[in-house]
């Protein structure tokens, strides 16, 4: 496996590690999202007797990572934060996540867990730039499943230069589609990029992440210039492949660019 490619000249990029794991270089800041390093054939425990098996190998490993300003964690499921992440990641790196996940990671020795409530912000400032992270509510499952599955958050990321937002993205986290996600635009403003977690994950007979239809609903709702789908084929519980989403978006003639990324690839996140 080759090392992570050096940062390109573009000032906002994404390197895809598989599932929901991405390495984001945003101006002078570097973020890791939902670190998942399990290999093909290994199983991740989701709680309440639920397991899922990894079908692919990761394209990012802990030994390949650059220095991180923070880790962004949507929720504490083992396909988003696994035992390898707990064992190998620097326990002094700030982790921005939900209250439940922050408490659990604190018990595992992570010293800078930052729990955000919906619409709460955290900012990192350095060399005249600010990276602003805003927590966005999500719903990992309908009805009774909300009591079984862990709380989840999406995130709006903004690069602020000279007091102005020069780039804005929304990472959905493991949520199903809900019309209230229109608040992302109302509260934060128009997006440059949408990064939806897809896959149509099945648990206890219910769909607990967006399938192709719901993902297209979200694109229609938020109208981003660029959409980069992730979280769609790495685990056995995924029931809606990327093709479902691509076809649905094409049939609806949803405006904007669909920019798929392959594992190990680095792409620009500028429109």
User: Does residue 46 form part of some domain?
Assistant: yes
**Residues 6+ away with beta carbon under 8 Å from 67:** 30
Return the CATH number at 54.
Answer: 3.60.15.10
User: Does residue 44 form part of some domain?
Assistant: yes
Instruction: Give me the residues of the chain with pLDDT under 50, please.
Output: 1-3, 5-8
What pLDDT is attached to residue 7?
A: 45
Integer CA distances (angstroms), 62 to 17, 35, 87, 231, 259, in order: 11, 9, 10, 19, 26
What pLDDT is attached to residue 9?
A: 53
- How many domains, in total, are found in the chain? 1
* CA-wise closest residue to 149 among 47, 18, 67: 47
C-alpha 111/C-alpha 97 separation (Å) is 13
C-alpha 89/C-alpha 106 separation (Å) is 13
User: Does residue 34 form part of some domain?
Assistant: yes
C-alpha 235/C-alpha 238 separation (Å) is 6
What pLDDT is attached to residue 145?
A: 79
Q: Print the domain residue range for 126.
A: 12-268
Within 10 A of 172 (CB to CB), how many other CB atoms are there?
30
User: Does residue 2 form part of some domain?
Assistant: no
């Amino acid at each position: 496996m080759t090392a992570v490619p050096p940062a390109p000249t573009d000032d906002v990029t994404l390197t895809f590690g598989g599932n929901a794991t991405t390495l984001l270089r945003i101006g002078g800041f570097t973020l890791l999202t939902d670190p998942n390093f399990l290999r093909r054939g290994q199983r991740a425990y989701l709680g309440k007797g639920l397991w899922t098996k990894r079908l692919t190998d990761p394209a990012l490993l802990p030994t390949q990572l650059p220095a991180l300003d923070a880790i962004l964690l949507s929720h504490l499921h083992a396909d988003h934060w696994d035992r390898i992440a707990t064992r190998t990641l620097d326990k002094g790196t700030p982790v921005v996540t939900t209250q439940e996940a922050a408490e659990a990671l604190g018990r595992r020795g992570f010293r800078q867990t930052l729990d955000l409530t919906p619409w709460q912000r955290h900012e990192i400032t350095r060399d005249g730039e600010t990276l602003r992270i805003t927590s966005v509510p999500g719903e990992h499952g309908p009805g009774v499943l909300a009591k079984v599955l862990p709380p989840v958050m999406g995130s709006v990321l903004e690069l602020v230069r000279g007091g102005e937002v020069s780039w804005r993205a929304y990472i959905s986290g493991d949520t199903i589609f809900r019309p209230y996600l229109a608040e992302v635009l109302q509260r934060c403003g128009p997006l440059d990029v949408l990064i939806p977690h897809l896959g149509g994950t099945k648990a206890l007979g219910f769909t607990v992440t967006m399938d192709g239809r719901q993902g297209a609903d979200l694109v229609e709702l938020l109208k981003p210039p660029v959409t980069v789908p992730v979280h769609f084929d790495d685990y056995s519980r995924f029931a809606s492949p990327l093709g479902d989403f691509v076809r649905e978006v094409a049939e609806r003639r949803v405006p904007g660019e669909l920019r798929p990324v392959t594992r190990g690839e680095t792409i620009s996140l500028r429109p």
